[in-house]
Amino acid sequence: MKVFCGRANPTTGSVEWLEEDEHYDYHQEIARSSYADMLHDKDRVFKPMADAAVKIVEKNGFSDKIKIINKHSTEVTMGPDGDMPCRANILITELFDTELIGEGALPSYEHAHRHLVQENCEAVPHRATVYAQLVESRRMWSWNKLFPIPVHTSCGEQVIVPPFELERCPGAPSVYDIQLNQVSSADFTVLSDVLPMFSVDFSKQVSSSAACHSRQFEPVASGRAQVVLSWWDIEMDPEGKIKCSMAPFWAHSDPEELQWRDHWMQCVYFLPQEEPVVQGSSIYLVAHHDDYCVWYSLQRTSPEKDRRVYPARPVCDCQAHLLWNRPRFGEINDQDRTDQYIQALRTVLKPDSVCLCVSDGSLLSLLAHHLGAEQVFTVESSAASYRLMKKIFKANHLEDKINIIEKRPELLTSADLEGKKISLLLGEPFFTTSLLPWHNLYFWYVRTAVDQHLGPGAVVMPQTASLHAVVVEFRDLWRIRSPCGDCEGFDVHIMDDMIKRALDFRESKEAEPHPLWEYPCRCLSEPQQILTFDFRQPVPPHLIHAEGSIELRRPGRSHGAVLWMEYHLTPDNTVNTGLLKSAEDKGDCCWNPHCKQAVYFFTMADPRAPLGGPQTVSYTVDFHPHTGDITMDFSLSDTLDDGQ
């Protein structure tokens, strides 16, 4: 049976209806779930997916001992005719996320103790403890605040300043979970020891009510308190002999035995405002939580003594944290990147330039104004981005200098542009709806739609774009696509087969976005240009096709191809969203930290496969102009082992 599914196309900007198999959502959910990564975690207690659990139990000979109840725990009934005949005396759960409580662990435990288990039952895990460490970090703080941006012009230095509302805004309410082990120690200064903030004993009644926990400490260094790094550990048994820790390497009891995980990482929390701290001068770090979220504050006196009103859960009221995610903040604050656009603008701007800027929440319009454009228009398609840009223009006294239009750019009229023809069309390009690198090709479709508004000899920047690829060996990320086979003595091939069927349904032919600065890998080939796109011309009506092969120059296991976009602002100035450099000898990769790259996994990788493998990777890549989709297929040749 087929069903029609509506989707907003991030590349063309249109809403389209597609005919899909009725189980498409089901297959997609399984294929992208990374369940295999959880089972590869040797420390972890887990509950398999319900629809595979029955078959796995049966295959392993436990059908007479294990009953699968396919319900949320709060819906389980008790009694002779219920799901459970009596209350349990052991509670085994896995309800945790990177923040510990973000998946509803507290209310679920609270309900279980009240309705499903005996008093004084044993719980596995037995206890969890949340830890925190206060740091100063310009890099991490740049993920939360807009920094002043200097612009060197012919009239001297101009500075783009953030609005007051943005400076005082406490930020987004959600935690930023990342692979903290990939943040260089040079990027932050430790201001406190690791502090145990609070613990939860899962064998006793748990409360989901809001609470706070304070820890007095003396800073180990003076500096600006900006960020709280946090993680947790769980003790499986009452004695704490079996422990599973999410600590980063510098705080781990045994860094050599550090277990890689992608389902549980570490947390970055931003204080509402940065505060100075002095080495040796005692202060209090306070962890607040409700039933689902954790946040932190810094206080000079004991919260218990002064009985002050505790800070509420942070909520963005400046619009910026709703429009820009954390990597986008970092991208806008990257002065080197800004200088690239400034340099390119200097080469294309003229005193009589009429500019139209098309990118979501971009500062390009301010750069164009400061660098001497006669008139600047900018288009914001959402109410949130429109309000934010109005605030930024007002803070910089440009509200009557830059014309902001709240409209989808495809719908622009001559009246919107005051009857003028555009001589310079600008884009970063960046659009909030983009998930994969090539989704920002929406700029090309906008360029095509506004063609009638471009004057003779109009310049488009970027002039062109190109799609690039490199074959890599991942240090760890391959685990999310690797079959488990056997897990702690249990045969879970049934789940492997289910995931493989879901992947074969479609996902095996699609790339998925990953921020690869968090996931170390080695280049096995040199980067190769695959497709080019000429923004100086409208989108062509015909397919853009490329096929060829990539030669592998380093030994290793070919886990997949990584793809990214490069935007050529001018012939001499390129903004790279992907591979910035690779070490010549080992091939270690350095990726753009502000962007997600696209990963096309070759197969469900087998870590035991021999080194070596294919000598070449063949590819076919097509850009479909009517849908904006890029389809691709990569195949390995001269493979030593099909499982590789």
Positions annotated as catalytic residues are 94, 103
Is the distance from CB of 287 to CB of 229 less than 8 angstroms? no
Residue type, 570: T
Beta bridge partners of 135: 190, 227
DSSP per-residue codes, 244-272? EE---GGG-S-GGGPPP-SSS-EEEEEEE
Angle subtended at Cα 350 by Cα 345 and Cα 354, rounded to the nearest 5 degrees: 90
Residue type, 314: P
Q: Give the DSSP letter string of 423-458.
A: EEEE-----TT--SGGGGGHHHHHHHHTGGGEEEEE
The secondary element (H helix, E strand) that includes residue 26 is: helix 24-31
Q: What's the one-letter identity of residue 560?
A: G
C-alpha distance from residue 400 to each of 350, 393, 593 (Å): 21, 9, 35
Amino acid, res. 41 = D
SS3 for 128-178 is EEEEEEEEECHHHHCCCCCCCEEEEECCEEEEECCCHHHHHCCCCCCCEEE
Residue 620 CA to residue 616 CA, distance in Å, equals 13
Question: What separation in angstroms does the CA of 304 have from each of 212, 219, 287, 365, 423?
Answer: 10, 20, 13, 49, 63
Query: Which amino acid is present at 613?
Result: G
Q: Is 79 left (phi over 0), alpha (psi -120 to 50) or beta?
A: left
The owner of tokens 């060829």 is 548
- Cβ neighbours of residue 46 closer than 8 Å, sequence gap 6 or more: 38, 39, 94
Contact assessment for residue 250 and residue 183, using Cβ atoms and an 8 Å cutoff: no
For 161, phi and psi rounded to 5 degrees?
Answer: -110, 150
Q: Tell me the β-bridge partners of 103.
A: none
The three-class DSSP label of residue 332 is: helix
- Residues with Cβ within 8 Å of residue 641, at least 6 apart in sequence: 606, 609, 610, 613
Answer for the pair 613, 558: CB distance below 8 angstroms, yes or no.
yes
Q: Distances from the Cα of 266 to the Cαs of 79, 152, 229, 257, in angstroms?
A: 41, 39, 7, 17
Residue 77 is encoded by which pair of tokens? 């009934």
Count of C-beta atoms within a 10 Å radius of residue 489: 6
Helical axes 50-59 vs 493-505, angle rounded to 10°: 140
Q: How far apart are CA 640 and CA 153, in angstroms?
A: 59
Which residues are paired to 426 by β-bridges?
357, 461
CA 562 – CA 589 distance, rounded (Å): 11
CB 579 within 8 A of CB 614: no
Structure token pair of residue 31: 């294929």
